[in-house]
Amino acid sequence: MDEVTVSRSARFLSLGVLLCLAAACSKTPKAPGENAATPAAQDPATVEDQKTIYAMGRMAAEQLEAFAFNEAEREQFLKGVRDQLESKGEPVKASDYAQRINALTQSRLTILATNERKKGEAYLEKAAAAGGAQKLPNGMVYKEIQAGNGASPKPMDGARLQLKLSDIDGKVIENSLERGQPVSIIVGSVFPCLSQGLQKMKAGGKAQLVCPPDLAYGNQSPDPKIKPGQTLVFDLELLEVVPDAAKRASAGQGAPTPPTTPR
């Protein structure tokens, strides 16, 4: 299995700083806008600030889920935050702990990737057994939801599509419909599962792809919301095929809008 890089560690840790700032302000977690004063006595700007800080903590904590801290570890983490903010104890030198932090992060993410791969293998078998599903030789599962009647894209073509990306538990990671803007890509420029799945579709069609990690992001991803070793589910609607979009882009005649996650 590929090793999870230290650069991913830095991404998680930098997001952890946000969690520190949001969570350490109070030892008792509170819902957005909740404090000792009555709502009527609060300034609206203060309420919005509280909600924003709460949201920062929630979003940052989501990025730290991969560490799988147990209760004691979580309390130790937050104790370090509080001590720093309250100037308690001896200061910690980053140089003394950088290697240990990287080693701990590497270890936790490697364990996570192994567990995610095991879960993904079981899900792929289940998905392949569903009616209308095809398990391709490379391990991905393709299921046509609605047949299209247009052209099928080739690697050098562009594709404009609606895309919903989920994990195998149904948690949505990306949804172009919610953003209100279709995704535009060069078919051959994305990872193998998405590229091959699109080439099996026709314009106007809908399909679902279940992508094993080695045909998607493997143990590394561009988005902390995607775990190392994670199997991904794509629900696609191919709106339009743009012939030879890659050639036109290289000639400076315009290129599809780059996607936010699939690349």
Per-residue pLDDT, averaged over 19-48, amounts to 55
Residues 36-58 have pLDDT tens digits of 445 556 787 788 899 998 998 88
45: amino acid identity, one letter: A
Q: Which residues of 103-112 are buried (b: 16+ CB within 10 A; e: fewer)?
A: eebbebbbeb
pLDDT at 150: 95
Read off the tokens for 81.
């935050």
Query: Residue 228 and residue 119: Cα distance in Å, rounded?
Result: 12
What is the CATH topology of the domain spanning 121-250? Chitinase A; domain 3 (3.10.50)
174: amino acid identity, one letter: E
pLDDT at 3: 45
- Which SS3 state, helix, strand or coil, does residue 35 take? coil
Per-residue pLDDT, averaged over 83-90, amounts to 89
Read off the tokens for 116.
């995610």
Residue 34 — φ and ψ, nearest 5°? -90, 130
Residues 165-188 have pLDDT tens digits of 999 999 999 999 999 999 999 999
User: 253 falls in which pLDDT band (50, 70, 90)?
Assistant: low
User: Mean pLDDT of all residues in the chain?
Assistant: 83
Lowest mean pLDDT among 94-103, 196-205, 219-228, 247-256: 247-256
Which residues of the chain does CATH 3.10.50.40 include?
Answer: 121-250
Residue appearing with tokens 């308690």 = 88
End-to-end CA distance of the chain: 21
Residue 48 — φ and ψ, nearest 5°? -65, -35
